[in-house]
Structure 1
C-alpha cells in the first residue's frame, strides 16, 4: 500500500542520511522502523500505566505461550 507524506527539509535530510548509512535499503524501511518504535513506546506506556513493564510482559507471554503449547501437545 502506498502512502504519501510531506516532510520538512530537515526530516527529509535525516531520512536520506539513514538510507545512505546502508542500515536501511529504502526510505520506506526507515519509516516502518520509526512506526514500530512508536508502537513499542505506546505499548510500554500502556503497560506502565497498568503497573507492568515490557520485559515482564514478554516473559509472561512466553510462559503462557509455552504452557498452551504443552497443553495442546498433550491433547494430541
Structure 2
C-alpha cells in the first residue's frame, strides 16, 4: 500500500504540474482540496483523467470523487479496491 501511495503522489505531481513539489512534500493525510495541497475543481478533473488512464477507474459521480480525493490515504484505498490496470 505504501508503494501505491508514493506512486499516486508522483502521478499527481506530474498530472497537475506541481513543479515545485516533491513526493516528500505531500503527507498521506494532507487534504488535497481546500487546505493541504489547495487543489481546485480543474485539478479534480485532472485527477479523474489520471485514475482512468493509469488505473482503469472511471468515476461518473462527482460527489463520489469528493470522498475519494480527500487525501492520499483515501485515494490509495479506493484505487487498491477498484483498479483494473
- The verdict on a shared fold, with TM-score over 0.5 as the criterion, is no
TM range (shorter): under 0.3
More relative contact order in 1 or in 2 (CA 8 Å, sep 6+)? 2
Computing the radius of gyration from Cα coordinates, the structure with the larger value is 1
Structure with more of its chain in helix, by fraction? 1
TM-score (norm 2): 0.24
